[in-house]
């Protein structure tokens, strides 16, 4: 019998529940219900509203007085715990990772590319039926965002962890962010370089002026934006950004229509900071949604995102946004609000605006072309809604490409946990006759050489394909391990000796090459139930080559097992640290170490 720490969010209280090896999540719900039944009844809370969730990382319990405060960030990205999941692996006297929440309904549905519109409430909700100006008020937005089927996906009040990053949903947004993050502008594609820069300088001057009315600023803003886009892209086939009716009597501050009659560029304008109580980005998200509803309702059941560029001008500031539609409207900020009142000699601020407008022009080019292609060939030009758009990388070993189709998220562990900032998917290899399963991972950092070496040694899944996507993404395609098991303790009594020898030899061999892994915890060790003697290492994100220079962790917020016996400010990944973490993992599997 073990004690399972569970944080009950409704009462801001940590409790300990006795559990056995076969105790599952629903039994934890039962125990909490029995303990708090009277209090929950008084609050009209039913048993069916109890759900067990998982924090992204365990939180140290002591000091208990600050536990709730230290959990605050993790509460924004709670993972789903399957009702049948065994909970013993979360049992630890020093840390807590499970949270009991009260919810109106289950927050997770089986992943799918597109939910049928008639099954969703979004297009009959306030973002379609209400005037956009009313949706933008803070008190209205706060209320709407509480309703799951009516809200937009703008990462408020919590992160939309069930969606991939916007740059993986549509390549044009990745191209935008590529342009923003480069050190300099590259105006090779621009139709008229001098005119482009002069148009931006004119916009800067016009927006620095004080206007008596919002309509006066609106007129100048649209004239300048049209000049900027025309100088870069030319006149055809792009429509002008003008105020126009979307539906009924509802008119935008300005928008341009794309090839299928939906918004391609939307602009929302406020005269000065503090002059309006409406969020302009939310307003044009509503206009965008109503544009789709009015012009493309039938098409919304297809796998097309209807990408659009949003622009907010507030006084002498400008910001750029991404808009898409999956089962709801998605709104993501591509830039912060950039200042246009620039001091004399500040070249960096002007350079930031040049890059932002170049990125906006490139994005509009892609949106227009892809929407036109969709109009001409709707079956061949789909963009999968809830998954990354990438479907091919270079095959390993070459030559040629490895083609795949993403089917669903690959939840991690027996409990089916979705971790924040991890994008791993189950996919089908479309080139092969047997259509075998593969795993596709998207990550900001990856040490391919180490993965290939460990796979060649038989201690990692085979690397089948590798590539890059805009905005700095590495795309890793690897074999799917049949009957994968990450809970190794039930097998350790028989195989730990073999595992330990193999892992120590493997680590020593890649250390001899000057390579480090950076995360040799037991969480990154797996086996196949069909061949449990062979242990495999996964997750090569933080690995690196010491021959090319020091290797560092990307964050100081490390799992306690990585920071064990180390200075918390020491972020260097070394061979010594690799060995320390590995030995702790082996002792832990042997039952000689408690979880940090």
Q: Are residues 130 and 271 in the same domain?
A: yes
Average pLDDT of 232-257? 86
How many whole angstroms separate alpha carbon 328 and alpha carbon 148?
10
Average pLDDT of 504-520? 98
SS3 560: helix
Position 114 scores a pLDDT of 42
Whether pLDDT at 359 is above 50: yes
Q: Are residues 295 and 167 in the same domain?
A: yes
Q: Are residues 450 and 565 in the same domain?
A: no
Q: Is residue 385 part of a domain?
A: no
Instruction: Give Rg (Cα) of the chain.
Output: 26
Out of 479, 509, 544, a domain closes at: 479
Our count of domains for the chain comes to 4
**Residues 297, 306 contacting (CB under 8 angstroms):** no
Average pLDDT of 564-576? 88
**Residues 280, 136 contacting (CB under 8 angstroms):** yes
Position 416 scores a pLDDT of 53
Comparing CA positions, the residue from 560, 524, 556 lying closest to residue 540 is: 524
Higher pLDDT, 338 or 10: 338
Task: Report in angstroms the alpha-carbon separations of 162 from 410, 420, 501.
Answer: 12, 9, 39
Q: Which domain holds residue 87?
A: 2-102
Q: Which of 13-22, 329-338, 548-557 has the lowest mean pLDDT?
A: 13-22
Q: Using omega within 30 degrees of 0 as the cis cutoff, is the peptide bond preceding 66 cis?
A: no
Comparing CA positions, the residue from 582, 573, 559, 565 lying closest to residue 504 is: 582
Out of 452, 479, 506, a domain closes at: 479
Instruction: Give the bridge partners for 441, in sequence order.
Output: 424, 476
How many whole angstroms separate alpha carbon 144 and alpha carbon 138?
10
Q: Using omega within 30 degrees of 0 as the cis cutoff, is the peptide bond preceding 157 cis?
A: yes
The highest-confidence range among 74-78, 149-153, 385-389, 410-414, by mean pLDDT, is 149-153
Comparing CA positions, the residue from 45, 55, 48, 49 lying closest to residue 7 is: 55
Q: Are residues 324 and 371 in the same domain?
A: yes
Average pLDDT of 546-566? 89
Q: Are residues 228 and 365 in the same domain?
A: yes
Q: Is residue 108 part of a domain?
A: no
Higher pLDDT, 174 or 247: 174
Q: Is residue 370 part of a domain?
A: yes
| Tokens, residue 533 | 């003697």
**Residues 66, 10 contacting (CB under 8 angstroms):** no
**Residues 488, 553 contacting (CB under 8 angstroms):** no
Residue 165: CA count within 13 A, CB half-sphere: 23
Whether pLDDT at 532 is above 90: yes
Q: Which of 109-123, 154-168, 201-215, 296-310 has the lowest mean pLDDT?
A: 109-123
How many whole angstroms separate alpha carbon 313 and alpha carbon 273?
10
Average pLDDT of 121-140? 87
Q: Are residues 187 and 326 in the same domain?
A: yes
Whether pLDDT at 177 is above 60: yes
Out of 423, 450, 479, a domain closes at: 479
Position 103 scores a pLDDT of 63
Average pLDDT of 389-403? 89
Average pLDDT of 96-109? 62
Position 369 scores a pLDDT of 92
Position 211 scores a pLDDT of 96
Whether pLDDT at 596 is above 90: no
SS3 595: coil
Q: Are residues 261 and 130 in the same domain?
A: yes
Whose tokens are 């086996």? That residue is: 527
Whether pLDDT at 513 is above 60: yes
Q: How far apart are the first and last CA of the chain?
A: 20
Whether pLDDT at 1 is above 80: no
Q: Is residue 110 part of a domain?
A: no
Higher pLDDT, 300 or 235: 235
Q: Using omega within 30 degrees of 0 as the cis cutoff, is the peptide bond preceding 65 cis?
A: no
Q: Are residues 441 and 531 in the same domain?
A: no
Q: Is residue 138 part of a domain?
A: yes
Q: Is residue 343 part of a domain?
A: yes
Cβ neighbour number for residue 365 with a 10 Å cutoff: 17
Q: Are residues 338 and 414 in the same domain?
A: no
Q: What is the pTM (predicted TM-score) of this model?
A: 0.78
Q: Are residues 498 and 527 in the same domain?
A: yes
Average pLDDT, the chain: 86
Whether pLDDT at 132 is above 50: yes
Position 83 scores a pLDDT of 66
Comparing CA positions, the residue from 457, 461, 459 lying closest to residue 441 is: 461
Q: Is residue 197 part of a domain?
A: yes
Q: Are residues 474 and 488 in the same domain?
A: no
Q: Are residues 170 and 303 in the same domain?
A: yes
Pair type for strands 95-102 and 2-8 = parallel
Position 347 scores a pLDDT of 87
């Amino acid at each position: 019998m073990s004690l399972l720490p569970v944080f009950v969010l409704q009462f801001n209280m940590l409790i300990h529940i006795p559990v056995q090896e076969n105790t599952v999540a629903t039994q934890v719900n039962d125990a909490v219900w029995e303990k708090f039944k009277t209090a929950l009844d008084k609050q009209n809370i039913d048993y069916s509203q109890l759900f067990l969730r998982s924090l992204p990382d365990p939180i140290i319990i002591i000091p208990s007085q600050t536990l709730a405060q230290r959990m605050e960030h993790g509460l924004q990205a709670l993972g789903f715990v399957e009702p049948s999941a065994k909970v013993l692996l979360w049992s630890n006297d020093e840390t807590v990772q499970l949270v009991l929440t009260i919810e109106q309904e289950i927050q997770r549905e089986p992943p799918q590319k597109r939910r049928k519109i008639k099954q969703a409430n979004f297009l009959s909700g306030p973002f379609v039926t209400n005037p956009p100006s009313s949706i933008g008020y803070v008190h209205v937005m706060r209320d709407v965002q509480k309703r799951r089927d009516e809200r937009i996906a703008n990462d408020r009040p919590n992160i939309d962890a069930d969606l991939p990053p916007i740059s993986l949903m549509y390549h044009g947004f990745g191209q935008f962010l590529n342009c923003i993050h480069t050190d300099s502008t590259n105006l090779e594609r621009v139709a008229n370089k001098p005119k482009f820069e002069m148009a931006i300088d004119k916009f800067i001057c016009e927006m620095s002026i004080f206007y008596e009315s919002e309509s006066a600023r609106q007129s100048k803003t649209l004239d300048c934006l049209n000049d900027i886009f025309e100088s870069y892209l030319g006149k055809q086939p792009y429509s002008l950004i003008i105020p126009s009716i979307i539906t009924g009597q509802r008119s935008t501050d300005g928008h341009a229509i794309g090839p299928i009659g939906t918004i391609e560029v939307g602009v929302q304008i406020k005269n000065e900071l503090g002059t309006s109580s409406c969020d302009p980005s939310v307003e044009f998200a509503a206009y965008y949604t109503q544009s789709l509803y009015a012009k493309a309702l039938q098409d919304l059941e297809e796998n097309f995102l209807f990408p659009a560029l949003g622009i907010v001008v507030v006084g002498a500031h400008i910001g750029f946004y991404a808009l898409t539609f999956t089962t709801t409207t998605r709104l993501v900020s591509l830039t912060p609000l950039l200042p246009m009142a620039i001091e004399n000699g500040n070249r960096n601020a002007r350079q930031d605006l040049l890059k932002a407008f170049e990125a906006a022009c490139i994005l509009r080019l892609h949106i227009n072309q892809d929407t036109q292609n969709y109009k001409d060939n709707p079956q061949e030009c789909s963009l999968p809604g809830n998954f990354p758009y990438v479907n091919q990388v270079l095959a390993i070993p070459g030559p040629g490409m490895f083609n795949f189709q993403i089917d669903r998220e690959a939840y991690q562990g027996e409990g089916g946990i979705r971790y924040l900032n991890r994008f791993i998917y189950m996919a089908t290899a479309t080139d092969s006759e047997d259509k075998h399963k593969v795993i596709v991972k998207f990550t900001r950092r990856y040490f391919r050489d180490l993965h290939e070496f460990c796979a060649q040694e038989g201690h990692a899944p085979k690397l089948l394909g590798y590539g890059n996507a805009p905005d700095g993404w590495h795309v890793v395609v690897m074999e799917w391990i049949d009957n994968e098991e990450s809970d190794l303790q039930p097998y350790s009594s028989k195989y730990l000796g073999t595992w330990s020898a193999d892992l120590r030899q493997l680590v020593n061999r890649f250390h001899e090459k000057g390579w480090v892994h950076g995360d040799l915890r037991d969480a990154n060790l797996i086996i196949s139930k069909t061949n449990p003697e062979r242990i495999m290492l996964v997750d090569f994100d933080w690995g690196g080559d010491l021959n090319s220079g020091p290797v560092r962790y990307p964050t100081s917020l490390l799992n306690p097992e990585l920071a064990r016996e180390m200075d918390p400010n020491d972020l260097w990944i070394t061979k010594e640290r690799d060995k320390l973490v590995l030995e702790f993992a082996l002792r832990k599997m042997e039952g000689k170490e408690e979880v940090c």
